[in-house]
Amino acid sequence: MMKVTLIGAGNLATQLGKSLKKAGIIICQVYSRTESSAKILGELLDTEWLTDVTLLNDEADIYIFSVKDSALCELIPKICKGREDKLFLHTAGSMPMTCFAGVAQHYGVFYPMQTFSKTKDVSFEKIPVFIEGDSAGTESIIRRFSGKLSKRVITLSSADRKYLHLAAVWACNFSNYCYSVASDILSEHGIPFNVMLPLINETTEKIHKISPKDAQTGPAVRGDRNVMSQQLKLMNGRGDLQELYRILSQGINPLIGNPVLDKNN
């Protein structure tokens, strides 16, 4: 039976805590710098919560850090020191595993490829979890632990995890910004954003079956300079969007160049 203490009570920690509990894993304590967050998650998981790291006890086998990158570096020495027999994990995409080196003896990474919010529950079962351990032995413990939550556990180095995180920014954060631009354009013309949802659903459904490159549609990929030139004009006064439109279109179809996408057009 594994026992876990959660360091952090944000979106990821909340969903992780709920899923761990469901999987029968005991949550010993929940720590957060913010009292309200600590209290909410502690009560949700029916466990002790605290805002003072010196009150952390040694009951857990695994201490999981789900905090901002800056807080991570600050908390690691404070928490790992004196607990050399414990396993320490962090969940950060862009932080190397070695941020534990020299402070902890058994450590690694548990990086679930998903976006989390406190209120919307997600099932960890289908979330790919990328793990890394300081040694083969540690990795196998992390793999066993992760396997209790997810059906897809993949070993990945810190160096490659950075690229995975970068890819996630493109696939999730930047695509969402594209939706946001669409939403702004529609609202300026009195059209509700929800008319886009069937199109967005279909777009994402397609890439479950074919590659995004093969699924690409629109004026850029078919080289429709007429439409592109018209659409650039519709964004007059929004130089940032015009610039994005140009670079995105050229990315989709490198054969498009001037004069259609000329800045002076």
Subset of residues 28 to 47 that bind its own copies, contact rule: CB under 8 A: none
Site for its own copies in 207-226 (CB under 8 A): 207-208, 211-213, 215-221, 224, 226
Alpha-carbon span 185 to 58, nearest angstrom: 54
| 70/264 with CB nearer its own copies | 70
Among 22, 81, 126, 151, binds its own copies (CB under 8 A): 126
Kindly state the smallest distance separating residue 50's Cβ from its own copies, in Å.
Answer: 25
d(CA 131, CA 129): 6
Q: Does 2 engage in binding with its own copies (CB under 8 A)?
A: no
| Residue 197 interacts with its own copies (CB under 8 A): yes or no | yes
Stretch that binds its own copies, among 26-34, 50-58, 80-88, 186-194 (CB under 8 A): 186-194
**62 vs 48: CA distance, rounded Å:** 16
Question: Would you say 33 or 162 has its CB closer to its own copies?
Answer: 162
Contacts of 98 (CB under 8 A, 6+ apart): 158
Please report where in the chains the tokens 């950075």 appear, as a residue: 162
SS (H, E, C) 71-111: HHHHHHHHHHCCCCCCEEEECCCCCCHHHHECCECEEEEEE
Torsional class of 57: left (φ above 0), alpha (ψ -120 to 50), beta (otherwise): beta
Q: Mask: binding to its own copies, 128-157, rule CB under 8 A, as x and -?
A: x-----------------------x-x-x-
Nearer Cβ to its own copies, position 2 or 235? Answer: 235
158 binds its own copies (CB under 8 A): no
Rounded least distance, CB 259 to its own copies, Å: 17
Judged by CB under 8 A, the residue of 43, 172, 257, 263 near its own copies is 172
Q: Closest Cα partner for 41 from 10, 63, 72, 19?
A: 10
- Binding to its own copies (CB under 8 A) within 54-73 occurs at 68-70
Beta partners for residue 7, in sequence order? 31, 65
